[in-house]
Structure 1
């Protein structure tokens, strides 16, 4: 399937959409195709990536506190003093003057008391938290794709079942009319067949409308209307063997939990930044200035001024502002630290819910499959018994209705089982494109950050200054800990095996 949009997103109205949906193209769309297209074009995911790149810039902005600041200033002053003629003999000055001043200023921080080091650590932790948020959005988008995919397949099966039911009931009505004409049954039997057929036609229209809604949801998430969708591939290669293993993986790699842990590290660094406001700071300043008459501009007559200074700033009293900010940042860090436990419990709850739903759905698949098999036998037997007078028309109609209901239940069970499996993987942190479609070019959220590390403005002496600023703080400013992620798990989504029919025996 082409990864480009195949045209504008048209409304999936069932009156026009069903023909294209049921006409199978040369190659059916697979779930991997849908995930790949959404991974590259979904606007929610694209916006989150842009937001992460914007967040990367905070690292550069924080490191600018260690870098020199260079400025050029220039001023020109013209004055015209209206001194009375009688008083000019008393003042030995000209009535008009014009002067100019130009200065090149250079300021280099040497030690900021840990302020810049804390800001850099907070920015790094925020970026790490943002990467986990990007993982969370990616998992949510993929989960939406999976749900839209299985919704379309379920509702497509529902339309087919309803169509088959209408066809069977139409044939049953024709048989009832024929038997009524020869006097075998009464008008009541015919009316029962007509009633069931009308109800089945109404249910078919509802199923077609629901199918159109699912197609529209698919187009909104994936980026194009669905065609004939292939069977869903197995997710067993990503699922653990039991709930305990799922809990263990989720505690390590769930993006919500990891993002909160990085948020706590960021707020801890901001506590250090608030405390650093009590420490002195040291900077060097150099100025090269020129001044003289602007007109006529004799540059060789301008005076030159070169100054250099080391400035030590020691905060003494801030009216309680610094202490208040320290207490505020400490409490915010307490909130983030406590929220880690709350997030851990929420993750375990979501894993528990999804895992139990998966177990129940798998049990339902077996039960509904057996119910369909038994209902097929019952419906066929009832039709045959009706032909010999052992069953009534109502018995046949009830048997057909039970069969269709069981077929719909079986389709819903398969839908729920697959969606539950994807939800378990999302809670664990494994529902990622690199695991599902490893052949797809993966977006690297770290590449932009690596590029900014030595971007415009970097100076070679900022590295030793950063070490001094970090070590000489009280206490030293820690760097955020980047936790390793889980390695990619193969082989990815594989197409379901093709069942080759056995050759007939001779």
Structure 2
């Protein structure tokens, strides 16, 4: 880890000294800003995009089975033969013989029909690439979900710290008032001790709130890439939420990336099953060889080189493999069965995620209403208890309890608002809509198909590749299935919008 990155992450720690100084940067930060930065710089997302580009290359590698190959081989040799003169029948024959020779061979091979082997490999590669794109969507949704949760956590913990600090201030004033009343004999030392205990407990809670805020800030820095400053209120996600849970189920079954990725995985295993069955079929290829030599490698004796050209059609028919091909077919069948069954598993998982998120959303909305009423009533009760204490109708412990109930209600309301927002994001994620194009459409969107389109015609492509592909695919028994991309849900406007500004009250007329 570099020193600069370590320094940025360490700066996310909200220590006790920094808690008191809540100075904010000049410009406030919105959730759209945080998502946009994570969309462009998050290392997990960047790594997944690179992995997808690497996966795109499998398509080129698979199609190379339809393309010709050209190989050049050369060989040079030198020999030295020494024979004792006594072993020679003719004494005039030289006892030392040396020489050299060379040979070069150029081989061209073009597959005509592979029995569907290459077609199956290409189909499997296409399905793997489509599955990789869905995995990229899933990782993008996870990263954005982490940003939303970190953003909501920081705002929740900032508000919780403010409430804790206000509680400490109130209890400090209460302790000062208790000391003053004790001096004049209005209350006992027990009342003072109760105020002191509540103040110490509030200070400990404030320190815990500071630590929790520091942790949330660190999570934010890890997800977004920078420390949070002044965070604006969360914008509404209502434009991405359906009106009913049934519609949420329907959208999730069509566009959830986890489910769609498994469906493409099943198509890939089905294509590999076709490839295993194609191992029983013959292969046809055209091969031509141009050979020079063998002849002496003396460059001044070029006329001694021979040239041989051989062109023919090779038909390879598998007859017996010791049961290897049949075993591979049975293995591919069961793998395809497993992938097909896993589709139902993923569908149930997706519906479970939608159900859990929707129930949490409903409960959180109800909690917001309940805690709002609780805060209103607790504030009235706390004020009434303080006034009644002043006339001797309430004790110190009654005031302390009323203040504690008010702070607990305020903290519950803050948590309910955070839970409602995170639950809404969870439902949207399960539906497959938590994407950059829906949330931050003004940011240049990463197109996973752009790199793939560039690989359609690259170095090694030949004009007769397509006819051979059609022959190889259609003459396979049975024909090789070809995966197809699924429809993509259109982007949903308008994206994350800043919350409406609070109306400024008009000055009272004099």
Residue in structure 1 matched with residue 244 of structure 2 by the alignment = 242
TM-score (norm 2): 0.96
1:125-204 matched pairs, under 5 angstroms: 125-204=127-206
Residue in structure 1 matched with residue 359 of structure 2 by the alignment = 356
1:60-459 matched pairs, under 5 angstroms: 60-88=60-88, 95-291=97-293, 292-459=295-462
Instruction: Give the whole-Å Cα distance in 1 for the aligned partners of 2:101 and 2:6.
Output: 69
Post-superposition offset of 1:96: 1.2
RMSD: 1.8
Kept in 1: contact 2:42–2:225 (CA 8 A):
yes
Instruction: Give the whole-Å Cα distance in 1 for the aligned partners of 2:20 and 2:30.
Output: 16
Residue in structure 2 matched with residue 494 of structure 1 by the alignment = 497
Structure 1 residue matching 2:239: 3-state secondary structure: coil
Kept in 2: contact 1:21–1:227 (CA 8 A):
no
Post-superposition offset of 1:288: 1.2
Instruction: Give the whole-Å Cα distance in 2 for the aligned partners of 1:95 and 1:154.
Output: 94
Label 1:502 to 1:114 Cα distance change in 2 as closer, same or farther (>3 A): same
Q: Which runs of 5+ in 2 are unaligned?
A: none
Residue in structure 2 matched with residue 48 of structure 1 by the alignment = 48
Tell me the alpha carbon deviations over residues 317-369 of structure 1, each in whole angstroms, 9 at most, x when there is no partner.
00000000000000000000011011101110110000000000000000001
Instruction: Give the whole-Å Cα distance in 1 for the aligned partners of 2:134 and 2:270.
Output: 18
Aligned length: 503
Q: Which runs of 5+ in 1 are unaligned?
A: none
Tell me the alpha carbon deviations over residues 200-249 of structure 1, each in whole angstroms, 9 at most, x when there is no partner.
00100011001101111111111111111110000000000010000000
TM-score (norm 1): 0.97
Structure 1 residue matching 2:240: 3-state secondary structure: coil
Structure 1 residue matching 2:315: 3-state secondary structure: strand
Instruction: Give the whole-Å Cα distance in 1 for the aligned partners of 2:17 and 2:288.
Output: 73
Post-superposition offset of 1:478: 1.7
Instruction: Give the whole-Å Cα distance in 1 for the aligned partners of 2:125 and 2:95.
Output: 58
Residue in structure 2 matched with residue 15 of structure 1 by the alignment = 15
- Deviates further, 288-297 or 221-230: 288-297
Instruction: Give the whole-Å Cα distance in 1 for the aligned partners of 2:200 and 2:17.
Output: 23
Label 1:224 to 1:56 Cα distance change in 2 as closer, same or farther (>3 A): same
Kept in 2: contact 1:437–1:493 (CA 8 A):
yes
Structure 1 residue matching 2:15: 3-state secondary structure: helix
Instruction: Give the whole-Å Cα distance in 1 for the aligned partners of 2:89 and 2:483.
Output: 74
Residue in structure 2 matched with residue 29 of structure 1 by the alignment = 29
Kept in 2: contact 1:7–1:224 (CA 8 A):
no
Label 1:302 to 1:414 Cα distance change in 2 as closer, same or farther (>3 A): same
Instruction: Give the whole-Å Cα distance in 1 for the aligned partners of 2:487 and 2:42.
Output: 27
